[in-house]
Amino acid sequence: MGISAVLLAGLCALPVSAAPLEFSDPENLPPPPADAPGFPVNTPGAGVRAGFASPPPGYGEVPFWWWTGDPLDRDRLLWQLDRLHAAGIPGVQVNYAHDPSMTTYPMEPPIFSEEWWDTWRWIAGECRKRDMGIGVSGYTIDWPGRDNLFRQIGVNDGSLRGAHLRAKLEKAEGGKPLSLELPAGVVRVTARRLDGGKGLEDLTPLARDGRLEWTPPGGRWEVAVVHAESPEFSVDPMNPASGKKVIERFFQPFADHCPGDLSKALNYFFHDELTFGVDGFLWSETFAGEFKKRKGYDVVPLLAALFTDLGPETPKVRLDYSDVMVSLEEENFFRPIFEWHWSRGIMYACDPGSRGRNPVEFGDYFRCVRWYAAPGHDTPGGKADLIKDKVSSSMAHLYRRPRVWLEGYHSLGWGATPATIFDSSCKNFLYGASLLNLHGLYYTTHGGFWEWAPPCFHFRMPYWDHMGSFFKYFERLSYLLSQGAHRCDVAVMYPVAPLEAGMAGDRAVKTAFDAGERLYMDHGMDFDFMDFESLERAEIRDRQLLVSGEAYRVLVLPVMKAARWSTIEKALAFFREGGVVVALGALPEASDRAGRDDRQLDRAIREIFGVTAEEARAGKGAEPRRSRSGGVGAVLDGPDAAAALISASIPRDFVPGDGGQVLHRVIDDRDVYMVMGAARNSECFFRAEGVVELWDPWSGTSHPLHTHAPAEGGTRVRMPLGPDTAQLIVFSPGAAPSVVGTDLDEIADLSLTDGKPVVTGYAAVPGEKAATVRAADGAETVLRGVAEAAPSPVSLDGDWEVEPAPTLDNRWGDFRLPATDTVIGAEARRFAHAVETGPGSGWERADVDTSGWKTVTHSYGQRFWKLGPLPETAEADAALAAMTVVDSSAPVAVGGQEYRWQPYDYSTRWGVEGDPGPQGHHGLKKMVSDDFIVLGRPDYTGILIEYQKEEAGTHYYLWTTVGAPEALEALARTGDMKPAALWVNGVRVDDLAAPVPLQAGVNTVLLRYDAPGRTHFVLERAGVPSVASEVPLSMRWHDNPAVLPFDPAPETARAAGWYRFTSPPGLRSMRVTVRGALQAWADGEPMTVETGPVRADGTVECTAAVRTSKAAAVAVAMRVDREPGCPGGAALPEPVKLDCGPGVMPLGDWSQRGALAEYSGGMWYRKTFTLSDEQTRGRVTLDLGAVAASAEVIVNGKPAGIRVTPPWRVDASGLVTPGENRVEVLVCNTLANHYGTIPTHYRGDPLSGLLGPVTLRTEREVALK
């Protein structure tokens, strides 16, 4: 049974690579169709400039269109498509969400039904008419699972079932019998001597009937039982049929249903969080044969090496196994699907589960994910992620993929502003992304109660009409940054091999990612992650690694204790030919050539670094080494040391003067640099020469950048914009004069007058100014002039005229159900509330102090008094059951402690405020729980709120009353958590299933619960049918004729309720839905109230109009003679709808101004001001200060610009005139305000309005001659 050690020792002589380099070499990839949207084409010369100004199709934002939540309606789909098309959206990608069991939510029509395909063909045709693309994401569809759609259509039906290897390791002592119960699927049982013995023992023949019986000879042993597990719901991506079947049953039907010209609408297909249900070392019946064919030896006797160390050859076995496994995945799954899309010019993208942070996802993340036309990832929550962007973009760079997909910014919340996602998107593009995909575009929001990791960034947002400039900005940026080839100095090895070999892999990953972040963020050094095959393909020339248009001067090995032999060979050759090789943290000591203890590897490492890994571990230090060609090899501790060495060893591509990060692309004969983080007027070095321009993605224009000077190997440029702005610095062939030094703050122009240079610009400080101009021939001239003092800024403070501009179109019921053909404007939803204690209260006056009043929300009212939590030992039943009224001001003594009753409110429609009950992943899912009693400490799990034990105890009492028009019997309806005790009229009810007798009039009810949790308790009148409410989004108890309403304060049931709020400016009238009779006052003056007929639900809609409209906000008071059973906000079941005209309001956050707190929409701000002739001469800038969330500016009736991000400034030059001027600013906020009364966990910041300060500044141009 012994296995010869000769087998192990001879492994180094066998083939290393499982697949030829030609397999993945992008040079061998046929070109996509010439007219494929979003695929770069060669546009030399002026073509790039023209493409930047007006990009060809396919470079705009592509949203996820979530077809979940409501049945598909063609009119609604077309309405949405037209909104998108008008905004310049080039295509959409259909997505389906999943329920808590991770199964695709059912939809109408069912996915892939004939009705669905009919809808698909129709919408694809509509997209084609608009030159838009449409595709589908595999999110939830292609996940292995019982009810998964892939399984239903036969892709995941068990015929492709996968398997992975697992191992059970046991120690054994010589002479002592070992008896093991074996798992199913045993592949190999191996015994290894631990105390110096040689070789392995094959115990597989001893595995019988699920057991292993073995008595080892002398010594200590380890037994490895390697077995294959085959999860029921899994897919084997190594199976030759896997990719073919996915194409046949998923992708090809889209082509079949969209023939001819309609096929041109197909675009933007996607794998989202792809999983196969198996991981680690994959296995199949044919794997061993494939391994032997590719590697030349039998891996089965060595399978234990995947899980335990069998000796020096162990890393080789592991690396070889992974190599074969990943090659089979590429050949059979990833590449065939890629080729299907590529040949059709379809943008095929992905967002894998680890987003590149797990280099061995799928076995080798880089090798598998390179088979997407747009490798990609998500960046949640409005953030930029350097590492995700770099992994994805490095694949695109090294394998010449056309785009890098950026899925942003799920879960940012309904308060997401354009400024937030603009900043994050600019940074993500700087880091390498080039296709913007905003996660949220919902087919429905179902009255505000359907969401999927919100927000929806599109047409529901109040600022939507201002987003055209945002989308065009990134369309231009996407176009430009997709052309040509990326260029950077540093290649950091993507640390797959250390993880495959089990040699400090986690440390290697951390070191690689930390090194990249610090080199980039702290030192301005751009980098790519390098995979071993691209490195092997690279040609070494002029001390650079040349591959796929890249030209790296530095190779970084981050704790690469294990590496592919080709990596070691290329690192050595690079060092010998003048390259810089840096090892961080540790040196390579194993490879797939011969594993560990390889003298040939040690010789190579010693030549590069002056020390081997073993010598370094022993404490031997090594200074940086130089090769005869000037190459540098160094072992360093961290990124800062690496940055210093790199700066001393190569002429850097970019050197920031005072902070800054860069992206560099070479497009034909142009060098295009995108820079962020560089301060205005700081100097940055670029390793480029020529005519320097600043390209502007907002306008698509470019203009000369005059402030630069030649430097050794490149150009020093004084940066024209600020650190938060993306600066596109473009170098083109040629020469032009430049300003090499000046004390002006800004250079506007450099021109020649009568052959002599003239510089114009601006200076913040008046006085003598100078500039040194360098001609194209190198001659320098000093120019001088005097800057005049500018007029003092004009502050536009005080009140502004304002007027609401509502935007929430509810025709589809997106914001409220049922749907209405209305646009929701300002509403009062929360009120200061008090119960009238007697006549003549004076509460209608404008100056009433409501600081002691309770704040209530419409529809919500107090239904119980709550006492607790109390200790489990509390004895309070008898005393509390005997109560006939609650005095909340009087403490309740229990067990020597004092407790106080607290009001417990809920809405009979919505339930508990802020807690609608269980929903699903990523937000609301159209459900309102019937359980309105929640007790305990709330803990949000992401799907629901669980109520945990509170420190004070677990016992709770709820007290209320229920009225009966006559003596009757009631039926108790309880949730899963039933009351531990119930008393009605002081009598304990032992049988909750039996009818409960009620007396005519008021009946007291006391509930005791002995645990935290969620439930309901309702009393229904016996003999009256219990009819669940037909009102959408409501508890079944709402408007249920059988339900007897609870009232914890029957003594005030007939007392009038007062409700006060502060109106928006310019209040004209309001519509109030009440349960009772309404009186209303505005600013202390009675309003004219018209009462409509009683509706079917018992409510009345009243219209209250002011007698004289006032420009400023006013205090509104409402008195409601409430119907019984309508406490608090329950008397106002709907928001109070406010009709407002022009008014006045100071600058600031409108969410802090009364009823505007819940207003999502637009607001016009207008102001008239006077300027002197002096103040209009020069460059005039209107600075809005701060805005939440977008602004459209009109000056004297002419558009001055739309702003969606700082700086909030527009150029008013030529628009203002001496004398009277008028500025109008339309500010639109977010949906956070509207969602203030919707129980989402994604509400966000309600900050809204023109925040200011608003200032008009005039600058004098100075001419230097």
Which top CATH class is 653-736? mainly beta
Task: Provide the pLDDT confidence category of residue 433 given band limits of 50, 70 and 90.
Answer: very high
Q: What is the DSSP string of 279-329?
A: -SSB--TTHHHHHHHHHSS--GGGGGGGTS--STTHHHHHHHHHHHHHHHH
pLDDT the model gives residue 6? 40
**pLDDT surpassing 60 at residue 719:** yes
Delimiting residues of CATH 3.40.50 domain(s) in the chain:
487-650
Where along the chain do the CATH 3.20.20 domains lie?
A: 21-159+237-485
Cα–Cα distance for residue pair 613/228, rounded to 1 Å: 36
The pLDDT, as a whole number, for residue 1220 is 98
Give strand ranges (E) for 1172-1239: 1179-1183, 1187-1188, 1190-1195, 1198-1203, 1209-1211, 1219-1228
| CB 134, CB 93: distance < 8 Å | yes
The SS3 of residue 225 is strand
pLDDT of 12 over the 70 cut: no
pLDDT mean over 1033-1056: 93
Per-residue confidence at 44, pLDDT binned at 50, 70, 90? low
Kindly report, as residue ranges, where domains of CATH 2.60.40 are found in the chain. 653-736
User: Which DSSP category does 523 fall into?
Assistant: H
Q: What is the pLDDT of residue 46?
A: 63
Rounded Cα distance, 879 and 640, in Å = 72
**Tens-place pLDDT, residues 752-768:** 998 899 999 999 999 99
Alpha-carbon distance of 982 to 1260, in angstroms, equals 82
Q: Give the helix/strand (H/E) hosting 792.
A: none
- The order of strands in the sheet holding 860-870 is 902-907, 860-870, 955-964, 1001-1009, 981-984, 987-988
CA distance 535 to 526: 18
Q: What percent of the chain has pLDDT over 70?
A: 98
**pLDDT grade, residue 15 (50/70/90)?**
low
DSSP annotation of 1046 reads: B
Q: Are 414 and 1231 in contact (CB under 8 A)?
A: yes
If we measure between CA atoms, which residue out of 665, 1060, 995 comes closest to residue 844?
1060
Question: For residue range 358-415, what is the model confidence (pLDDT) as tens digits?
Answer: 999 999 999 999 999 999 999 999 999 999 999 999 999 999 999 999 999 999 999 9
Can you tell me the distance from the alpha carbon of 211 to that of 206, in angstroms, rounded to the nearest whole number? 8
- How far, in whole angstroms, is CA 410 from its chain's centroid? 3
DSSP 925: B
pLDDT of residue 142: 85
CATH number of 794-801+1159-1264: 2.60.120.260
* Residue among 1091, 459, 1065 nearest 814 (CA): 459
401 neighbors 358 (Cβ within 8 angstroms): no
Compute the C-alpha angle 199/201/207, nearest 5°: 165
What was the pLDDT predicted at 622?
A: 87
Give the burial string for 458-493 (b: 16+ CB within 10 Å, else e): bbbbbbbbbbebbbbbbbbbbbbbbbbebbbbbbbb
Residue 222: per-residue pLDDT:
96
pLDDT tens digits, one per residue of 925-977: 999 999 999 999 999 888 888 999 999 999 999 999 999 999 999 999 999 99
pLDDT classification of 982: cutoffs 50, 70, 90: very high
Q: In this predicted model, what pLDDT tens digit does every residue of 445-501 receive, in sequence order?
A: 999 999 999 999 999 999 999 999 999 999 999 999 999 999 999 999 999 999 999
Domain(s) of CATH 2.60.120.260: residues in the chain? 794-801+1159-1264, 827-854+1052-1141
Residue 794 has pLDDT above 90, yes or no: yes
Poorest-pLDDT segment among 617-621, 820-824, 854-858, 984-988: 617-621
Tens digit of each residue's pLDDT (9 = 90 or more) over 1052-1111: 878 999 999 999 999 999 999 999 999 999 999 999 999 999 998 999 999 999 999 999
- One-letter amino acid of 1144: V
How open is the CA angle 1118-1121-1125, to the nearest 5 degrees?
A: 115
User: Does the pLDDT at position 9 exceed 70?
Assistant: no
In the predicted model, is pLDDT for residue 146 greater than 90?
A: no
Q: What is the pLDDT of residues 46-87, one digit of tens each?
A: 699 999 999 999 999 999 999 999 999 999 999 999 999 999
Is the confidence at residue 144, as pLDDT, over 90? no
Percent of the chain predicted with pLDDT > 90: 92
Average pLDDT over residues 1012-1038: 96
Select the more confidently predicted residue: 547 or 159.
Answer: 547
Domain 487-650 has CATH 3.40.50: yes
pLDDT, residue 714, reads 98
How far, in whole angstroms, is CA 1204 from its chain's centroid?
Answer: 19
Residue 3 pLDDT more than 60? no
> Are 324 and 22 spatial neighbours (Cβ–Cβ below 8 Å)?
no
CA-to-CA distance for 295 and 908, rounded, in angstroms?
Answer: 71
The most distant pair of C-alpha atoms in the chain lies apart, rounded to whole Å, by 108
Q: Which contiguous run of DSSP H or E holds residue 968?
A: strand 968-974
CA distance 55 to 28: 28
Nearest to 593 by CA among 312, 380, 350, 202: 312
DSSP state of 494: P
**Which residues neighbour 387 within 8 Å (Cβ) at sequence distance 6 or greater?**
356, 357, 513, 516, 517
Both tokens of 1262, joined, read 């100075």
> DSSP label at 105?
P
Give 21-41 pLDDT, tens digit per residue.
999 999 999 999 998 999 997
Average pLDDT, the chain: 95
Q: Give 195-215 pLDDT, tens digit per residue.
A: 987 779 999 999 999 999 999
Q: How many CB atoms lie within 10 A of CB 689?
A: 17
For residues 732 and 670, is the Cβ–Cβ distance under 8 A? yes
Strands across the sheet with 1190-1195, in order? 1143-1146, 799-805, 1162-1171, 1219-1228, 1190-1195, 1198-1203
Let me know: does 1027 contact 1041? Beta carbons within 8 Å: yes
Q: What is the CATH number that goes with domain 21-159+237-485? A: 3.20.20
For residue 247, give the 3-state DSSP assignment: helix
Place of tokens 């940012």: 412
The CA distance from 145 to 196, in Å, is 48
Which option is the CATH number for 827-854+1052-1141: 1.10.10.10, 2.60.120.260, 3.30.1540.20, 3.40.50.150? 2.60.120.260
What value does the mean pLDDT take over residues 101-130?
95
Q: How confident is the model at residue 839 (pLDDT cuts 50, 70, 90)?
A: confident
Element (H, E) at 499: helix 496-501
Determine the 3-state secondary structure of 44 from DSSP: coil
Which residues on neighbouring strands pair with residue 957, listed in sequence order?
Answer: 867, 1008
The closest of 888, 1018, 882 to 962, measured between CA atoms, is: 1018
Contacts of residue 13, defined as CB under 8 A and 6 or more positions apart, other chains included, come to none
Task: With a cut of 50, say whether residue 1 has pLDDT above it.
Answer: no
Residue 1098, token pair as written in the block: 């018992």
990 Cβ partners below 8 Å, 6+ apart?
Answer: none
Amino acid 4: pLDDT: 44
Q: Would you state the pLDDT for residue 1013?
A: 97
Residue 1168 has pLDDT above 50, yes or no: yes
